[in-house]
């Protein structure tokens, strides 16, 4: 497993999306899309103003530097705009697994196919370059849109984790976990992502 590659500058792209490391000057462009309460409804945090954006950027970079995650800026190649963020998190090198998540897109980029293009690059790189054997996804029980999007990736629903985290409001939230395994990836790639095949 090539876990050390997560210490380098990673850039992933296809015809639709470009993913660049979050610690990029373009992260300041998030201000054009980030102040939307709907984005943060299920995210476990809120970004309401310029100070909140500064805090979000600083914490994301700190978590990357502490190797808690590898975050990316999502750039829409059709408009060359910063469209949102995503990351590899909960990286467990010993067990060759990680989680793809903490993903959000500005309202104008939702439902455009950008998320699917992004997930293809992250899954493909995770399985075929890094060498993960399991990649999981987690979403709030109430986030039906996210659940549908994950299921459309070909991920298997594994279980419900009750009172799995505390929302900013102080209430306990229940999460649903999904996964894709390395041995499932080739079939999923062919069935779910045919537009990104290069052979």
State the Cα–Cα distance between residues 64 and 58, nearest whole angstrom. Answer: 10
Of 193, 147, 191, 137, the C-alpha closest to 17 is 193
Kindly state the helix (H) or strand (E) to which residue 132 belongs, with its residue range. none
Instruction: Classify 159 as helix, strand or coil.
Output: strand
Is residue 141 within 8 A of residue 174, CB to CB? The reply is yes
Say what the pTM is. 0.94
Segment 100-114, tens digit of pLDDT: 999 999 999 999 999
What is each CA distance from 90 to 28, 47, 114, in whole angstroms?
Answer: 25, 22, 23
CA distance 63 to 53: 15
**Per-chain mean pLDDT for the chain:** 93
What is the CATH architecture of 3-196? 3-Layer(aba) Sandwich (3.40)
pLDDT of residue 50: 93
| Nearest of 63, 24, 66, 30 to residue 49 by alpha carbon | 30
Both tokens of residue 47? Answer: 């970004």
Q: Name the pLDDT band for 199 (thresholds 50, 70, 90).
A: very low
Structure-token pair, residue 101:
């998540």
């Amino acid at each position: 497993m090539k876990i050390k590659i997560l210490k380098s500058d990673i850039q992933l792209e296809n015809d639709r999306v470009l993913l660049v490391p979050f610690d990029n000057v373009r992260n300041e462009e998030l201000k054009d899309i980030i102040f939307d309460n709907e984005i943060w409804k299920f995210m476990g945090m809120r970004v309401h103003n310029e100070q909140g954006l500064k805090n979000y950027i600083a914490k994301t970079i700190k978590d990357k530097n502490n190797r808690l995650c590898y975050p990316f800026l999502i750039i829409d190649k059709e408009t060359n705009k910063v469209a949102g963020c995503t990351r590899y998190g909960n990286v467990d090198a010993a067990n060759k697994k990680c989680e793809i998540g903490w993903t959000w897109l500005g309202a104008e980029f939702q439902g455009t196919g950008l998320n699917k293009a992004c997930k293809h690059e992250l899954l493909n790189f995770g399985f075929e370059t890094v060498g993960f054997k399991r990649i999981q996804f987690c979403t709030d029980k109430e986030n039906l849109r996210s659940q549908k999007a994950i299921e459309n990736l070909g991920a298997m629903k594994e279980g419900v984790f009750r009172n799995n985290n505390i929302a900013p409001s102080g209430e306990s939230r229940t999460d649903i976990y999904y996964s894709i395994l390395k041995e499932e990836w080739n079939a999923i790639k062919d069935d779910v992502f045919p537009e990104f095949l290069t052979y």
